[in-house]
Structure 1
Amino acid sequence: MGFFDRLKQGLTKTRESLTDKIEKLVIGYADIDEDLLDELEETLIMADVGMETTERLMADVRQGIKKKEIHEPADLKPFLEGKISEILKEGSDDIRMAAEGPTVFLVIGVNGAGKTTTIGKLAAYYKGQGKSVMLAAADTFRAAAIDQLQVWGDRSGVTVIRHEEGSDPAAVAFDAVKAAAARRVDVLLIDTAGRLQTKSNLMEELKKINRVIGRELPEAPHETFLVLDATTGQNALSQADLFSKAAPITGVILTKLDGTAKGGVIIGLKASLSLPVKWVGVGEGIDDLRPFVAEEFAKALFDREE
């Protein structure tokens, strides 16, 4: 099964909670009235699209009715497909790579979102592209995080730069950047601690890591990825909002899209927070994390052929 088919399969529950429900809803109405629009609004909210994005889509629908772009209930689904596809395609989902020297990716996210596993999958992806990869265990507050990253490094056959538990995360980042440059590594992935409850400390820590990295490689980090668990729905949007105030996030990695009805959160991330989604994960397999392609995602969400 190719990735598009896995993506389509992984979005089954989200499709059932969003596009299939819209289709079933419009069949039950002969005309467009306020009851239908209220039910449509509720469907969008229940699909974890988010309140702000739902309001935007409902405003589009009302405008579409006014402009005679929507004549009957059956017109609602293709109209919304078009508007949601437009949202998914907003902004750039390109991944910034270094013109020369190591490309440095800083990876942040709350514990439990699948951050360390995601880094392991990213390492495997870039190794599969023929690139040399190095990992840095800068989540020094948990010995388990350091050990887990080492397991992924061993599994992927890549070097892990690590210090003792409790050491300075910026010092790990510094050593890793020096080592990556000296060994001419293509991609350096830096794991960081995710402690939202101490947002000011997190901000200072990330600022320090950014300063240290930037001194060694002026363009780095090339991307700061926030890992979010799609199964948490609206909580993922709240995390993204908080983290975006604490760090210069350049893109989101949305994991665990398979098996959740809450994949609509991706629409809210793009529409209300203007955060580009750079990677999506649709399974436990090492190759189930891939770069986000808006057109592909829209086709899978609306059950169209590739």
Structure 2
Amino acid sequence: MSFFKNLKEKISKQTETVTEKFKEGLTKTRNSFSEKVNDLVYRYRKVDEDFFEELEEILISADVGVQTVMELIDELKDEVKKRNIQDPKDVQSVISEKLVEIYNGDTDEEQASLNIKEGLTVILVVGVNGVGKTTSIGKLAHKLKQEGKSVLLAAGDTFRAGAIEQLEVWGERVGVDVIKQSEGSDPAAVMFDAVQAAKSRNIDVLLCDTAGRLQNKVNLMKELEKVKRVIEREIPGAPHEVLLVLDATTGQNAMSQAKTFTEATDVTGIVLTKLDGTAKGGIVLAIRNELNTPVKFVGLGEKMDDLQEFNAEQFVYGLFSDMLEEVEQAE
């Protein structure tokens, strides 16, 4: 049980508020996934092929993704053999350990956190309509302001009716200005205006909204490429981040969206919204493992500060917190 002790120690060094947010935000996934794992380890007397087959089904039903599940099961089998684990209850610790390993992989801290530069940082936010893109931009603006950064928003989604107004509402709520043009305008022209405004006002972070059309992938690619060209021409090396917003409740559909957008533009990180609204939080692991793109933020509720930086240890703790408490009491 040393892994659980180490996990608890790592969690204790972070704020209790963050721990509680992950715990509450993952309630639906924990109630589904963790309960099934608990039931599994208590039903079996030994770790055999049937045990692994059932575990495989549980992981797939949590949207961990078939490819990731196969890799995870193979690694678990190797580890169980290596450690000579006989009692299924002891596999729980190994599962937790492997989930953290899969997520962290070879990601360094710079990749995992938001890439804020000296001077002006430009963050392009992409994703289909309805995933919570504008809301995520508003919450991210709030978070950055709380950290003492000056923020400006660019209303680059000029196609969806009401998109500009929605961004303006968030701008007022957070207390940041929005650079906009009329509906139907060229998004690249909006970005040009926004970059000029950000430079003249000595803004720290420019958050750029974009249209979320997927019906025609060619148009999407051309539009994003044009927007990026305009930004890069004005600020070499920008955009510094391209954040893809995905809705966790759509499960494997989010994976197909992610693949389309990573083909269209260089996505540097994922914002996974509505994680609190799904029992299939395993999609986090599938995204990380199959796309090799870090999940940088997760939406754990509807409040302004419920957009949290993703943390693998907090995530695993949120999944297994009930079981960890049982282990603690037993010890």
Aligned partners of 1:109 and 1:228 also within 8 Å? yes
Q: Establish whether residue 82 from structure 1 lines up as the match of residue 97 from structure 2.
A: yes
Partners of 2:160 and 2:88 in 1: CA distance? 54
Displacement after TM superposition at 1:265 (Å):
0.5
Where does residue 204 of structure 1 map in the other structure? 222
Residue from 92, 95, 98 that aligns with 2:114: 95
TM-score by length of 1: 0.95
Confirm or deny: 8 A CA contact 2:80 2:91 kept in the other structure: no
Task: Tell me how far 1:293 sits from its aligned partner.
Answer: 2.2
Match of 1:274 among 289, 292, 305: 292
Aligned position for 1:15? 30
Provide, for residues 208-250 of structure 1, a one-character-per-residue CA deviation record: whole Å limited to 9, x for no partner: 1111101111121110000111111111122112211111100
State how 1:243-262 maps to structure 2 within 5 Å.
Answer: 243-262=261-280
User: Structure 1 residue 74: deviation in Å?
Assistant: 1.7
Task: Show structure 2 runs of 5+ residues with no match.
Answer: 1-15, 326-331
2:185 matches 1:167: yes
User: 1:107: how far off?
Assistant: 0.3
Q: How does 1:1-306 map to 2 (within 5 A)?
A: 2-90=17-105, 91=107, 92-99=111-118, 101-303=119-321, 304=324
| CA deviation after TM superposition for structure 1 residue 69, in Å | 4.5
* Residue identity in the other structure for 2:41: V
Distance (Å, rounded) in 2 between the aligned partners of 1:55 and 1:196: 30
Structure 2 letter corresponding to 1:86: E
> How far apart in 2 are the matches of 1:110 and 1:169?
16
Report if aligned partners of 1:17, 1:46 keep a CA contact under 8 Å in 2: no
Classify the secondary structure of the residue corresponding to 1:135. Answer: strand
Unaligned runs of 5+ in 1: none
Q: Which amino acid aligns with 1:174?
A: F
Residues in 1 aligned to 2:315 and 2:44: alpha-carbon distance in whole angstroms: 29
| Deviation (angstroms), 1:87 | 1.5
State the one-letter code of the partner of 2:201.
R
- The answer to whether the 8 A contact 1:19-1:77 is kept is no
| Separation (CA, whole Å) in 1 of partners of 2:86 and 2:50 | 16
Query: More helix by proportion, 1 or 2?
Result: 2
> What is the CA RMSD across the aligned residues, in angstroms?
1.5
- Over residues 7-42 of structure 1, what are the superposed CA-to-partner deviations in whole Å (9 max), with x where a residue is unaligned? 111101111222331121011111222222211110
Q: Report the TM-score when normalising by structure 2.
A: 0.88
